[in-house]
Structure 1
Amino acid sequence: MLAFRTLLLPVKSLRWTLKVLDTPAPRVYSWNSRAESHPVGAEFIIMDKIEGVPLSQVWGNMKLPQKLQVLLAMTRLQKQWLSISFSHYGSLYYAGDVQPATVGSHYVKDGKAVKDSEFAIGPTTGRDWFDGGRSILDTERGPWASLTEYLQAVGTREMKATQTLKPPKQMALFCGPKLYRPDTEKKLTALAWYRQIVNSLIPKDTTITNPCLWHNDLHDDNIFVDPHNPEKITGIIDWQSCNIAPLFNHSPDPAFLDWDNGLEPETLDLAPKPKLSQLSSPEEKSAALREYTVQNVFIAWRKLMHAKNPDLYRVVEFRKTAAYGLIFLAHRMFEYGEAHFQSLLVDLKDTWADLPAVVTDDTPFPFDFSEVDFERIKLDSDGAVAGTELVAEVKETMGDLWPDKGFIEHERYE
């Protein structure tokens, strides 16, 4: 069933992308998602090869005006994606492949509900529902008609993963003596707290809670451009993990911008040019110029988003809040996050009445933490922060040799 869904999704997403979202993607000619039903005896897709070259081959040599044109093109594409929302959270399927059919399944364009007999919304195939061994979990996968149902299902999923699956290898933080160590009971406690307050975390702004289809993996090998005119995007590949989720759960920033997500810019002001005369070595000057360029290209991207896609920029603003931080950490509680979650929840007590979903100032904060609880949570949080900082130091020291996603290129193995 997993192979069937992971194959079916790119087919439907690609055809939907070409048909409705007006986004350049490979055209599918033939496909089979059930190995036993075809003489080939395997799942397959036959599709166009995208014209052009990966952005990774040219981005480093492009001049700033050319890079800005790529950002403008990406802004226009995301504006197209924003123009469509759906009736349910889940994933796209052909109608004949979803049984039973989702009642009332439709999409909304220009404020009008559109029913398309060709497609239906079915169980999600979002990456977070399959990573870390979650594919084998017996858990509800949608589709969901309400955001509350969707977010509660996330909590249930993480509880089942924590209770039944082998703990995954840690890549976000080091654990050990004097550092935080993941704890099953603390994870389950944090998830119980999350499920208790999740309704209060949901923003009232329906623009950022609407179910949207999005490409969340826009790194420079998934975007193709014209080699003779590299500011022109010729196609986008790797749609298999696209799913219909609340807009705030989708990534507003393309990965090819190479921005460190841990350093959210405080303003949209451009960074000042570095004083190269104060740097001694050519390597230091080159690194300073690169950081300056990366920062300002990213700020330029955010400025474009703010001006051209203000609805998407609201996601950026929501992601700065404690409410989003708690939702984000709950999504990955099985891998990590309970220490930060509990610390963030303690801090939430002071701003509880400011949450949009807390109806009146008389609605009490639902938890009563003792001084012992405060001390324990602070100790865990400090240990987790230290473990995260240690990972950052090692990554900086190793540079390109850091095994991203747990692997290293063949040519660098030695």
Structure 2
Amino acid sequence: MPTERDSTYHSFRSGWNSNDEFFKFTRGRFVVEEAENLRRREIKFDLNNLAQAAADSVGAAQCSSIKKYPNGMFNKSFLMTMVDGQEIVAKVPNPNAGVPHFTTASEVATMDFARKVLNAPAPHVHACNSRAKSHPVGAEFIIMDKVEGVPLSEVWDTTQLQQKLKVILAMTSLQKEWLTVSFSHYGSLYYAGDVQSLAYNHYVNEGMAINDPEFAIGPATGRDWGFSNAQTDPAKKLTALAWYQKIVDALIPKDTSATSPCFWHDDLHGDNIFVDPHNPERTTGNIDWRSCHISPLFNHSPDPAFLDWDGLEPETLDLPERPTLSKLSTEERSAAMREYLVQNVFIGWRKLMHGKNPDLYQLVGFRKTPADTPFPFDFSEEDFERIKLDRDGVVAGTELVSNIKEKMGGLWPDKGFIE
């Protein structure tokens, strides 16, 4: 006969699986191919079993409440509260998240490696499953600590300049730690039991080769390894790839410090960095390690996205002059001062990089230098004209989209959907 605890648990179980919003994409509407976009972001699984797995992973009797976080584009995340008050986060990938098994397995191992070896504030994982059919939940999942604090995006605009400089100083130190470790291969990190290990698989920490039996390097899981959709003509894509293969040796650096396999978090925007709301310069955690991978340093982004820099590459590290505001409207003054502040913070970031991470700053300088290898083939006049037409078409399309985006403001369908 069921006990009172069993009866209560059944009522929770029935409610959670019957709520369709837990499994669907509910963040907004897609402006194109909505049915297909929604399908790729909907996943059915047993939320009751996921809640029990979460409770078991932290030694709680059961889960008492579940709150769905705002939908990510590639996963669903839930805040689960246990009857004893513990809070954890459960994350389930959508069908569009990446290659089954490898994407989840790599994310879990990456967070563990980041915490243990790189001293990065990645969440601790309590339980996981990377093979959907092997578990009663019926889906891949990760159960991990809830990161304390608030996203940096919530406080960045109101944070004082001195505090912002302390934030970027902390980020400089974190990147410096990443640069102390290099690897034997390109790819993504996994636990050794989750992937076929490569020969001579190791990482190098402060000059010492370490053969860690816990971790292995396997296939790269980054979503940015696919082809761009900007050019829709397959023949032109193949031609561009063939040309690229001929010039790649002229493009890549000769300096081994820029080409050695390096681990990086390339998606440090304001929603992926958590800070103490009362002390914003104190980072409490970094999230979304799903697409982190090992590739040449020159392939990584040296500048974190939360800096919000979309201007040209600075010619010098001199701070910009304060704008003249007297003849501007109130709205124009606000925009000018915001741009001035963004420039100051970015220059401050680059100054810190120059002083504390010279290898990374050298990479920034490399991007400005001409190739020292002769161009390996010639274009005919016909080729030039065809390329020019394609280029002009892309530029015109980009400018048109930018103008429409500016006029629509908050109604612009970012990533194809509207909140």
> What range is the shorter-chain TM-score in?
0.7 to 0.9
Residue by residue, what CA displacement relative to the aligned partner does 1:35-88 show, whole Å, maximum 9, x if unpaired? 222233322211110111111111111100000000000000000011111000
Aligned letter for 2:342? V
Q: For the residues of structure 1 that align with 2:385 and 2:139, how far apart are their CA atoms?
A: 56
Corresponding residue of 1:225? 275
Per the alignment, in what secondary structure is the counterpart of residue 270 of structure 1? Answer: coil
Corresponding residue of 2:201? 105
**Structural mapping, 1:202-217, within 5 Å:** 202-217=252-267
User: What is the Cα deviation at residue 182 of structure 1?
Assistant: 4.6
Describe the shift of the 1:184–1:3 C-alpha distance in structure 2 as closer, same or farther (beyond 3 A).
closer
Corresponding residue of 1:274? 323
Per the alignment, in what secondary structure is the counterpart of residue 117 of structure 2? Answer: helix
Q: For the residues of structure 2 that align with 1:3 and 1:185, how far apart are their CA atoms?
A: 30
Check the 8 A contact 2:247/2:375 in 1, yes or no: no
User: What is the Cα deviation at residue 202 of structure 1?
Assistant: 2.0
Aligned letter for 2:418? I
Corresponding residue of 2:178? 81
User: What is the Cα deviation at residue 104 of structure 1?
Assistant: 0.3
Corresponding residue of 1:242? 292
Q: For the residues of structure 2 that align with 1:241 and 1:408, how far apart are their CA atoms?
A: 24
Could you tell me which of 333, 356, 361 is aligned with 1:285? 333
Unmatched runs of 5 consecutive residues or more in structure 1: 135-157, 159-166, 171-180, 322-353, 359-363, 410-414
**Structural mapping, 1:85-164, within 5 Å:** 85-99=182-196, 101-129=197-225, 134=226, 158=227
Q: For the residues of structure 1 that align with 2:233 and 2:105, how far apart are their CA atoms?
A: 37
Per the alignment, in what secondary structure is the counterpart of residue 277 of structure 1? Answer: coil
Residue 294 in 1 paired to residue 304 in 2?
no
Unmatched runs of 5 consecutive residues or more in structure 2: 1-97
Aligned letter for 1:23? A
Residue 376 in 1 paired to residue 386 in 2?
yes
Q: For the residues of structure 1 that align with 2:250 and 2:391, how far apart are their CA atoms?
A: 23
User: What is the Cα deviation at residue 246 of structure 1?
Assistant: 0.8
Aligned letter for 1:303? K
Check the 8 A contact 2:202/2:209 in 1, yes or no: yes
Could you say which structure has the larger radius of gyration? 2
Residue by residue, what CA displacement relative to the aligned partner does 1:171-219 show, whole Å, maximum 9, x if unpaired? xxxxxxxxxx753322221211111222232211111111111111101
Residue by residue, what CA displacement relative to the aligned partner does 1:196-255 show, whole Å, maximum 9, x if unpaired? 222232211111111111111101111011112111111100001101111111111111
User: What is the Cα deviation at residue 385 of structure 1?
Assistant: 2.2
Describe the shift of the 1:389–1:117 C-alpha distance in structure 2 as closer, same or farther (beyond 3 A).
same
Residue by residue, what CA displacement relative to the aligned partner does 1:256-300 show, whole Å, maximum 9, x if unpaired? 11111x522222221111111021x21111111111111111111
Describe the shift of the 1:44–1:379 C-alpha distance in structure 2 as closer, same or farther (beyond 3 A).
closer
Corresponding residue of 1:175? none
Aligned letter for 1:315? L
Per the alignment, in what secondary structure is the counterpart of residue 101 of structure 2? Answer: helix
Residue 25 in 1 paired to residue 41 in 2?
no
Aligned letter for 2:402? A
Residue by residue, what CA displacement relative to the aligned partner does 1:7-45 show, whole Å, maximum 9, x if unpaired? 112210111011000011111111111122223332221
Q: For the residues of structure 1 that align with 2:342 and 2:220, how far apart are their CA atoms?
A: 34
Corresponding residue of 1:333? none
Aligned letter for 1:80? E
**Equivalent residue pairs, number:** 322
Q: For the residues of structure 2 that align with 1:366 and 1:304, how far apart are their CA atoms?
A: 38
Corresponding residue of 1:338? none
Aligned letter for 2:214? E
Instruction: Name the structure with the higher strand share.
Output: 2
Aligned letter for 2:394? A
Identity score, percent: 69
Describe the shift of the 1:69–1:372 C-alpha distance in structure 2 as closer, same or farther (beyond 3 A).
same
Aligned letter for 1:77? L
Q: For the residues of structure 1 that align with 2:106 and 2:181, how far apart are their CA atoms?
A: 18
Residue 303 in 1 paired to residue 400 in 2?
no
Aligned letter for 1:296? N
Per the alignment, in what secondary structure is the counterpart of residue 276 of structure 1? Answer: coil
Residue by residue, what CA displacement relative to the aligned partner does 1:313-365 show, whole Å, maximum 9, x if unpaired? 122223335xxxxxxxxxxxxxxxxxxxxxxxxxxxxxxxx634x3xxxxx64
Corresponding residue of 1:313? 361
Check the 8 A contact 2:182/2:203 in 1, yes or no: yes
Structure with higher RCO (Cα < 8 A, 6+ apart): 1
User: What is the Cα deviation at residue 91 of structure 1?
Assistant: 0.5
Per the alignment, in what secondary structure is the counterpart of residue 142 of structure 2? Answer: strand
Describe the shift of the 1:383–1:314 C-alpha distance in structure 2 as closer, same or farther (beyond 3 A).
same
Q: For the residues of structure 2 that align with 1:390 and 1:298, how far apart are their CA atoms?
A: 28
Aligned letter for 2:260? N
Aligned letter for 1:313? Y
Corresponding residue of 2:160? 63
Q: For the residues of structure 1 that align with 2:289 and 2:175, how far apart are their CA atoms?
A: 15
Q: Normalized against structure 2, the TM-score is what?
A: 0.73
Residue 54 in 1 paired to residue 151 in 2?
yes
Corresponding residue of 2:409? 399
CA RMSD of the aligned region, Å?
A: 1.9
Could you tell me which of 343, 348, 355 is aligned with 2:371? 355
Q: For the residues of structure 1 that align with 2:173 and 2:345, how far apart are their CA atoms?
A: 17
